[in-house]
């Protein structure tokens, strides 16, 4: 059973930075692409970013491009999301999700999420 555990969420002021982590287990992490998807309070889902199995390819959603950076450490079975220049509208639950393949196949499994609150 795939396990994805997000951490690093919390309350941060606008303009500051935060780094999220997603620790993966019970599957061959280095063989799969990984995603971040977020959900503002009471709202729908927004795809944030994707990284390929080997970390060489990355893509971002329009609203975070240039501010967020996705990365991974296959030795630690962990993916990261570095979030800089945070805005109030970045508030929400951030889900880590596993792709069904190495790169841009399908969002297959989700973690439980970590809450990020951007507020002064």
Partner 1 sequence: DIVMTQSPDSLAVSLGERATINCKSSQSVLSSSNNNNYVAWFQQKPRQPPKLLIYWAAVRESGVPDRFSGSGSGTDFTLTISSLQAEDVAVYYCQQYYGIPWTFGQGTRVEIK
Pair of tokens at residue 89: 């509208």
Q: Which helix (H) or strand (E) holds 45?
A: strand 45-51
How many residues of this chain bind partner 1 (CB under 8 A)?
22
Interaction of residue 104 with partner 1, rule CB under 8 A: yes
23 is a contact residue toward partner 1 (CB under 8 A): no
**102 forms part of the interface with partner 1 (CB under 8 A):** no
Q: Binding to partner 1 by residue 47, rule CB under 8 A?
A: yes
Which listed range, 13-21, 46-54, 72-80, 82-90, lies at the site for partner 1 (CB under 8 A)?
A: 46-54
Buried b (16+ CB within 10 A) or exposed e, 58-91: eebeeebeeebbbebeeeebbbbbebeebeeebb
Task: Give the residue carrying structure tokens 């061959």.
Answer: 28
Interface with partner 1, residue 103, by CB under 8 A? no
Question: Interface residues with partner 1 (CB under 8 A)?
Answer: 37, 44-47, 50, 59-62, 95, 100, 104-113
């Amino acid at each position: 059973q795939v396990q994805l555990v997000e951490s690093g969420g919390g309350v941060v002021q606008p303009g500051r930075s935060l780094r999220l982590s997603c620790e993966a287990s019970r599957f061959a992490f280095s063989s799969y692409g990984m995603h971040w998807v977020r959900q503002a309070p009471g709202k729908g889902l927004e795809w944030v970013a994707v990284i390929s199995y080997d970390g060489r390819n990355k893509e971002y959603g329009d609203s975070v491009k240039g501010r967020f950076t996705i990365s991974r450490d296959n030795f630690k079975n962990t993916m990261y999301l570095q979030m800089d220049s945070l805005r109030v509208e970045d508030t929400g639950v951030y889900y880590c999700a596993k792709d069904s393949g190495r790169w841009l196949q399908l969002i297959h499994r989700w973690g439980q999420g970590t809450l990020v609150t951007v507020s002064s």
